[in-house]
Amino acid sequence: MSISRTLTERYGVLSFSRTVMRRKLPKSVFDQLVHTIEEGQRLDRRLADTIAHAMKEWALENGVTHYCHWFQPLTGGTAEKHDSFLNFEDGVAIERFSGEQLIQGEPDASSFPHGGVRSTFEARGYTAWDPGTPAYIVKTPKGGILAIPSIFISYHGQALDKKTPFLRSIHVISEAAKKVCSLFGPTPRWVRTTLGAEQEYFLVDKELFDKRLDLKLTGRTLIGKASPKDQQLENHYFGSIPERVIAFMDDLDMAMHELGIPAKTRHNEVAPSQFEIASIYEFANVAADHNLILMQTMKEIARKHNLEVLLHEKPFKGVNGSGKHNNWSLEDSEGSNLLEPGNNPAQNLRFLFCLTAVLQGVNEYESLIRAAVATDGNDHRLGANEAPPAIISAFIGKQLSEILDGIASGSTNKDAVLNFLESGVAHVPEILQHTTDRNRTSPFAFTGNKFEFRAVGSEQSVAMPQTFLNVTIADAMLDLHHKVEVRREKGESVQTAVMAVMRDSLKSSERIRFEGNNYSQEW
């Protein structure tokens, strides 16, 4: 695409977005498809041919020759098989893409990791289109590929990928959160998890990379002498970005924006040759797919600049490793963030109840959350050089800790007061002080209106950690909701029941909260 086009003109041109759907689909079909996406309801298969035709026409306009079901097997990466639009009618070559081809594919499941549920003589698997994430176009030297995000299941319906359990967990936490919301007002149509991923990576010269067999084979250095200059001077973080790296970042940002991926922030990270790209938060299903596309695309673009992207969590000894901070929250159909404290969190009962549920989930299932980020590379990263330790804890800040401690002890909470900082420079505006400091040693920290899951590794798909997080918190929400309902049946008011249930839960989950230095002996 021409660089003369503005960002908004370029944005999403290679994504089968709502803008494209509105233009290409009959209004009735468009409305039903949007309803399916927003409400999480099953798509009417009778619409599939119309949608497939619109996708094909849009793809052909962009020079596309093939399509694929793009899915996420248990390898940790992605998989795809390309089929052309070529077909024949009365001996004449035509381009055709049917609703059946859009909805369903049949790769051999036995050739992927499957946990023993498939074998060579029982090999059938199915890919199925996920309408919740937009299809997109991958440009190739001679054309392009229409990539259709899909789930991957066995002949008997068992999940063989990371997307299927993730989508199931999103549904479970939505239903649980709706029940919680019903205690405090009207029940929303849906509640969705939102996610914004901060992707860290190293960028090195490809010629130097090719000389290091250990880097090529394992993604990290295994031998050699440490550099005399690494990050001791602390002058790389947020420093001026080198021209060669800026050129790579410009191309990466342009590619992301054309694909409809909201890349927002880029900067130098702490270690030499380490950088970060962060996206605006999206609904978690879309954000997870977009992060996988980002990781693949950045490797391809780097090679065009004679560079190599390293996504291993600890490629170099003695300097910071790379993580992927997952900023997680819950948003309802009315646009309300369930983890937004508001101006007076002490009086925001729904927020406090949701916060209590999160802490209970993390407390009761800390081992599952730890297992979700346990990879060989990430285990090497955790616990040093600004990475959080492998022991799971939650940080919520002084103000919220005092509020929750008050609930647990049965004392009255004081109203919160917003504080302003004085910089000492007369012409600089006052700075609003956040309710929490930034504890970079905490693996799971509340950061204003979301939790930042900092223990996720840079090379990981976010789907599995988010799946574990969703189901643990959903379980806590359902448990707390049930206990409130039991008390209400005995005649207690909603507020009295909620406060009593939160008090018991917060006493139990106090052990998982830690406000200090997670590197210290105290922790």
Question: In sequence order, which residues have a C-beta less than 8 Å from that of residue 484 and are 6 or more positions away?
Answer: 183, 494, 497, 498, 501
Dump the DSSP string for 229-282.
Answer: -SSTT--STT-PPPHHHHHHHHHHHHHHHHTT--EEEEEE-SSTTEEEEEE--E
Q: Give yes or no: residues 115 and 261 share one domain.
A: no
Compute the distance between CA of residue 264 and CA of residue 237 in angstroms, rounded to an integer.
18
Q: Give yes or no: residues 116 and 222 share one domain.
A: no
Residue 168 lies in a domain: no
Q: Give yes or no: residues 131 and 206 share one domain.
A: no
Residue 298 lies in a domain: yes
Q: Give yes or no: residues 143 and 265 share one domain.
A: no
Per-residue pLDDT of 294-319, as tens digits, reads: 999 999 999 999 999 999 999 998 88
Burial (CB < 10 A; 0-12, 13-18, 19+), residue 340, is middle
Q: Which of 322, 367, 329 is nearest to 458 (CA)?
A: 322
Instruction: Give me the pLDDT at residue 4, please.
Output: 60
Here the tokens at position 140 are 């190739």
Q: Which residues constitute the domain of residue 13?
A: 7-160
Residue ranges of the chain whose pLDDT lies below 50: 1-2
398 in helix, strand or coil? helix
Compute the distance between CA of residue 314 and CA of residue 379 in angstroms, rounded to an integer.
9
Instruction: Give me the pLDDT at residue 110, please.
Output: 74
Domain's final residue, options 117, 136, 160:
160
Alpha helices in 69-162, H assignment, sequence order: 99-103
Task: Locate the DSSP E strands across 288-351.
Answer: 307-310, 324-332
Instruction: Give me the pLDDT at residue 1, please.
Output: 44
Residue 332 phi, psi (nearest 5): -100, 175
Q: Give yes or no: residues 144 and 191 share one domain.
A: no
Q: CATH code at 99? A: 3.10.20.70
Instruction: Give me the pLDDT at residue 121, please.
Output: 57
Residue 325 lies in a domain: yes
450 in helix, strand or coil? coil
Instruction: Give me the pLDDT at residue 9, please.
Output: 87
Report the first-to-last Cα separation within the chain, whole angstroms. 52
> What domain count does the chain have?
2
From residue 382, how far is each of 191, 200, 314, 388 by CA, in Å? 32, 14, 9, 6
Q: Give yes or no: residues 133 and 227 share one domain.
A: no
Dump the DSSP string for 26-51.
Answer: -HHHHHHHHHHHHHTPPPPGGGHHHH
Token look-up 């009959």 returns 26
Q: Which of 459, 402, 457, 461 is nearest to 435 (CA)?
A: 402
Q: CATH code at 456? A: 3.30.590.10
Q: Give yes or no: residues 382 and 472 share one domain.
A: yes
Q: Give yes or no: residues 315 and 462 share one domain.
A: yes
Domain's final residue, options 127, 160, 193:
160
Q: Which of 143, 315, 141, 311 is nearest to 215 (CA)?
A: 315
Q: Give yes or no: residues 226 and 321 share one domain.
A: yes
Instruction: Give me the pLDDT at residue 155, please.
Output: 85
Question: For the chain, what is the radius of gyration of the CA atoms?
Answer: 25
Domain's final residue, options 160, 191, 223:
160
Q: Give yes or no: residues 140 and 241 share one domain.
A: no
Residues belonging to the chain: 523
Q: Give yes or no: residues 94 and 181 share one domain.
A: no
Q: Give yes or no: residues 439 and 319 share one domain.
A: yes
